[in-house]
Amino acid sequence: MVVNFLNLGKQPLANNFLEIDKVKDEFFYDLEVCFDEDTSLVSLTNNVQKELMFTEGYVYHSSGSKTMVNHFSDIATKIIKKEPKKILEIGSNDGAFIKNFKQEIAVAVEPCSNFAKITQDFGYDTYNKFWNTSLASEIESKHGKVDVIFAANCICHIPDLDETFRAVHYLLKDEGTFIFEDPSLLSMLFNTSYDQIYDEHAHIFSVYALKNILERNNLFINRVEKLKVHGGSNRLFVSKSPGCDNSVDDCISNELSLRINKLETYLVFANKVEESKNNLVKLLVELKNANHKIIGYGATSKSTTIYNYCRIGTNFLHYITDTTLDKQGKLSPGMHIPVVAPNKDGIDTKVDNVFLGAWNYTDEIVAKEKYFSGKFITHVPYVRII
Ligand code: TMP
């Protein structure tokens, strides 16, 4: 049985940063989350049509932080050592990962045409399409089967996992490896980081749920790496051959000991989410009453969920700074907070408090803003002033 356990209310598209004259036509949907008691998969109850989210105007750049650029260069270096003859990336975005490979051996799949153009211009054969079995067959007819399929923060965006994994199984060589990484459900539960939930994240994965779904598609998890990025992620090494090292058993036993397969776990989480909202609003009210000037840092897709669920707009935040050119000069989705370029000399000295919308880069941001004399606010793992 599939059970709804969390309702985050009416939400806009998380990455739909708006020109002022587009505010009237903004799209909203009901953001609800459900738990499948058979597979233990946690998913959105209502999926937004993919063509509305992944458009030619998509704004999220994988190369937007040094942390991610280094992260992709590290895994690419490890893959290159194995000398793959052909590698495919699903969801290649602005090429942060694929640019580490020679053009002759790498193929990109990217549904957002603005990004597909970037990797195409760099000389990578890029399919500007959504991943599915018919695309896998089209790619095979030109490139043959591939040694490695890589996907970062992409598989969790696709509602139909059986179709996704069937397509992977089809295109992967029998001895090939499918490597993919996505935010970890366990980390979200630990951190009460409910902002991982937004339109693009059709699922938040546990390794246990993925094992159930991969195996029914004849794919097996051989190894798991825990990653710090995106607030805690899992990288899975998957193949057509069963057999795994301790990392998989350790991960799954840990998840099961924390009752990741029980509905009660999610009901407790839902209560913590409400508590987090109440505490954040209370803190912002206190700071505002003390005449503090508060801004947001990082106009992230995650922060769209927070701002809309907690009703945080210009009532609390003067503006949000973000380094992404395509977000600057626009209004944040739903709550319409102005997004501006960061000051070249660091955060404006008149600012007292900065809410970390990009809390997953706290170390990078605190290091960059070492001259900021005010205080950062975060909601992970609980609402507090840092
Ligand atoms: P993400 O959490 O989905 O990776 O998005 C990070 C966003 O935060 C992206 O829009 C870039 C922005 N950002 C800044 O504005 N300044 C920074 O120092 C960092 C690390 C990210």
Q: What is the pLDDT of residue 231?
A: 95
Q: What is the pLDDT of residues 214-271, one digit of tens each?
A: 999 999 999 999 999 999 999 999 999 999 899 999 999 999 999 999 999 999 999 9
Q: What is the pLDDT of residues 82-111, one digit of tens each?
A: 999 999 999 999 999 999 999 999 999 999
Q: What is the pLDDT of residue 22?
A: 86
Q: What is the pLDDT of residue 271?
A: 98
CA nearest ligand 1 atom 13, residue: 298
Ligand 1 centroid to residue 324 C-alpha, Å: 8
Q: Is 183 in the pocket of ligand 1 (CB under 6 A)?
A: no
Q: What is the pLDDT of residues 55-67, one digit of tens each?
A: 999 999 999 889 9
Ligand 1 centroid to residue 66 C-alpha, Å: 10
Which secondary structure element, helix H or strand E, spans residue 108, and what is its range? strand 106-109
The confidence band for 369, taking pLDDT boundaries of 50, 70 and 90, is very high
Reported in sequence order, the residue ranges of 166-305 that DSSP labels E, i.e. its strands, are: 172-183, 203-204, 220-227, 233-239, 294-297
DSSP notation for 285-313: HHHHHTT--EEEE---HHHHHHHHHHT-S
Q: Is 299 in the pocket of ligand 1 (CB under 6 A)?
A: yes
- To test ligand 1's pocket by mutation, which of 196, 197, 322 has the most ligand atoms within 8 angstroms of CB? 322
Count of residues in the chain: 386
Task: With 0.85 as the threshold, say if the pTM is over it.
Answer: yes
Q: Where on the phi/psi map is residue 20: left (φ > 0), alpha (ψ -120 to 50), or beta? A: alpha
Q: Is 184 in the pocket of ligand 1 (CB under 6 A)?
A: no
325 pLDDT above the threshold of 90: yes
Ligand 1 centroid to residue 326 C-alpha, Å: 12
Ligand 1 centroid to residue 304 C-alpha, Å: 13
What is the arithmetic mean of pLDDT over 3-21? 97
Ligand 1 centroid to residue 359 C-alpha, Å: 9
The confidence band for 299, taking pLDDT boundaries of 50, 70 and 90, is very high
Ligand 1 centroid to residue 64 C-alpha, Å: 6
Among 62-66, 127-131, 133-137, 277-281, which is the least confidently predicted range?
62-66
Q: What is the pLDDT of residue 41?
A: 98
Percent of the chain residues past pLDDT 90, beyond the cut:
97
Ligand 1 centroid to residue 172 C-alpha, Å: 33
Q: How far apart are CA 298 and CA 262, in angstroms?
A: 34
Ligand 1 centroid to residue 315 C-alpha, Å: 23
Q: What is the pLDDT of residue 159?
A: 98
304 pLDDT above the threshold of 90: yes
Q: How many CB atoms lie within 10 A of CB 49?
A: 10
Percent of the chain residues past pLDDT 70, beyond the cut:
100
Atom number in ligand 1 closest to CA 68: 4
What is the arithmetic mean of pLDDT over 19-36? 95
Q: Is 231 in the pocket of ligand 1 (CB under 6 A)?
A: no
Q: What is the pLDDT of residue 45?
A: 98
Atom number in ligand 1 closest to CA 62: 4
Q: Is 362 in the pocket of ligand 1 (CB under 6 A)?
A: no
Is residue 121 within 8 Å of residue 140, measured between CB atoms? no
Q: Is 233 in the pocket of ligand 1 (CB under 6 A)?
A: no
Closest by CA to 5, choosing from 189, 237, 164, is 189
Closest by CA to 194, choosing from 60, 333, 303, 297, is 303
